[in-house]
Each structure stands twice: as C-alpha cells, then as structure tokens.
Amino acid sequence: MSAQAAQQMGLRVIVLDSDPNCPGAQVTPFRVKMDWNSDIGAAELAQLASSITLENEWVSPSNLLLAKQLGSTVIPEPHTLSIIGDKFRQRTAFAERGLPSPRFCAISSWDDLYKAAENWGGKVVLKSRRGGYDGYGVKIVHLPINDKDLPLSEPDEWYAEEFVPFDRELAVIVGKNSSGETAIYPVVESRQTTDGHRCDVVIAPAPNVDTELTRLVQDICLSAVDAVEGIGLFGVELFSRNGEIIINEIAPRPHNSGHYTMDGCRTSQFEQHIRMVRNLPPGPTHLIAPVVVMANLLAPRHGQINLEKSVSDAYRICPNIHLHWYGKSVLREGRKMGHLNLLGDDLDDTLSLVLAARDAFWRGVP
C-alpha cells in the first residue's frame, strides 16, 4: 500500500521479491526477482533505487547497510532496524530513555524465568527476542511453570516481561522525516481477538481520552521514536491501566493500527510514509469524521473465497464501507486478508455496522 501511495505521488516503484505473486508485484511491473532478504538483492536494488524503504521489519540490517553504502537513502535506518528487530534491545532503549515500561529481564536459563515470575507476582510474559508478530512469539506463563509451557528454543532467544493487567490497548502512528519534522496521528484504541493477540478492531479516536491524556500519549510516542533514533513512519503500541500509560512496542513501518487513516484522515499513513522517506513536509493528520472504525478481515479458516460475492455482500449491508483487500493468494485461519473502514458520527452505530458488514463478507466462505 506504500507502493500505491508512492506511485500516486509520481514515483517509480521497484519491489525486491522473488515471488511473482507478492502484493508489491500487483502494483508495479518493476521487480528485482530475488529474495527480499538477500544481500545481492539489496545491492541490485540500490543500483536502481534512490530511496529504499520497507513494510516488514525483518529485512536484515546488514543488507540495508550495504544498500546505504552503495548510495541509496535507506529509511528506516539500518541502526534503527537493529534496535527494533530485537525486542529486548528495543525495551532497553525505551527504559534508558525513561519511558514508562514494565519490568523486564534477559533470560539465559529457564531459572531466570522462574525467578522473574516469583518476583513479579507469579505471572510473566515470555517474548521471543526476534521474529515475533501477531502474538506468535508471546507466551504468558504462570507459576508453577510446567516445562511443557516453555518454548523448545534456547532460553536466550527469549526475554521476560512483567505482565501488565491493562484495561485497553492504545496506538499512535508517528512520522518523522530527515529534517526532523514530525507528523503525529490521533490516539486510537486497538481491540484484540479473544483467542489470541491479533488486532481485531481499531477505534479512532480512542474513546474517553481527553486532551491532556492525548498529549501525554503522543509525547511518549515521539520519545519512543527518538529512543530508536527513528526516521520514517512508526506504529507505537501502548497499554493503558486506569489512565496510566505503559509502552508496549514500536514497529518501524506503516502499522495495522493505522489502516483507518486510509479513509479516515486527511493523509493516509502510506502517503505519510512516503513523504517521510522522501524528506517531504508532513501531511495533515487529523480525522475527517467524528468516528472512524477499522475492522480487520482475518480469515476464519483455511480455504477458498468467492471474493466477488463476499465484497458484494459486505457493500450491500453497508454501502458506505471502504473495503481494502490485500491480494494474498492463500486463506489461512487468522491471516489478515484485508480490512474494512467506516466513517461515522456515533461509535456504537459505526461499530455495529462495520461488524455486520464483516459478518456478511465472511458468510460465503465455506
């Protein structure tokens, strides 16, 4: 979707991916046909592209550094990626900056985990340092810890975090360009699926967040971007407990909690991303409706979809809906296949309409 925004701004887009069906290949005919995480691919891309960016934080920082040394502007910076790509380093950067964080510690043996659980009220969150997403790589463990609760990988591939009994999760999209200009979006509430840790619905603006709390949250998010020496576009996730704010994590790219901006804000996060990468002035970030609700289209099961019918069913229930389908070829249970945005005046009405449209969308999936 960043590629679409870049093209709309008159830029020629080249994607690096060996897969001819990758979403980027549906947007642009220009493709370096190599693995997105290969050094030769990064080097070839650097010969062709003046600016390089990403929508996936697992690109190796050393490949990005190589592209930078070959003369491309690389945003986010490889250094930022190396901090964010290791959640323990990310947490350390936030703590060093004095940002409100849960207690956390490295784990070099499972004994370290038991000790942390004893010290922190019997419940800990075990997080994979690298490669986690959508809750894969997050395990909540309770005392007494049974060996079968432990992951099979080595303890030092994980770290432990205090369990935060939050009331709700908030998120903010932040942009920063190389000149130091920033764009900060409204504070939104992100509601997760009941079965796991996937984002289900995003509500903008977050209900019951007054001006003072908005300022506090936005300040924390700007500091989080500074803590990782960030330039580009970032999604910052936070926990809220009785009005107290605790930072969860930062993503160095457009984020699911910012998909509502595509129809709900003056500048979508994807256009903002490209503006930041090209060091252009930030676009306005405010909402264009009193309420905007985004509902993810998470595949209910493996299988096929009659997309035309599902789209038509959703629009028939709610003609005002904005439907975004990502063009992924395979439906897998829980996979994010697209999302719906709806603008409205009243939260309850808007939420129930978007959920009804989503039910109608999936009804046809056998």
Residues near ligand ADP (CB under 6 A) are 102, 125, 127, 132-135, 137-138, 161, 163-164, 169, 192, 197, 237, 248-249
**What is the residue whose two structure tokens read 């719906």?**
340
- Least distance in Å: CB of 319 to ligand ADP? 33
Helix (H, G, I), strand (E, B) or coil at 142: strand
- Least distance in Å: CB of 123 to ligand ADP? 9
Q: Which lies closer to ligand ADP via its Cβ, residue 141 or residue 318?
A: 141
Assigned token pair, 297? 């289209």
Amino acid at 276: M
Hey, how many other C-beta atoms are within 10 angstroms of the C-beta on 355? 18
**What is the residue whose two structure tokens read 């502007």?**
73
The residue at minimum Cβ distance from ligand ADP is 197
Beta strands in 66-114 (DSSP E): 73-74, 104-106
- Least distance in Å: CB of 212 to ligand ADP? 25
CA distance 234 to 245: 18
Assigned token pair, 235? 């999604």
Q: Which lies closer to ligand ADP via its Cβ, residue 30 or residue 163?
A: 163
Hey, how many other C-beta atoms are within 10 angstroms of the C-beta on 119? 13
Q: Which lies closer to ligand ADP via its Cβ, residue 102 or residue 258?
A: 102
- Least distance in Å: CB of 291 to ligand ADP? 22
- Least distance in Å: CB of 197 to ligand ADP? 3
Q: Which lies closer to ligand ADP via its Cβ, residue 100 or residue 132?
A: 132
Q: Which lies closer to ligand ADP via its Cβ, residue 192 or residue 312?
A: 192
- Least distance in Å: CB of 193 to ligand ADP? 10
Task: Say if CB 351 and CB 344 are below 8 A apart.
Answer: no
Q: Which lies closer to ligand ADP via its Cβ, residue 66 or residue 221?
A: 221
Hey, how many other C-beta atoms are within 10 angstroms of the C-beta on 44? 18
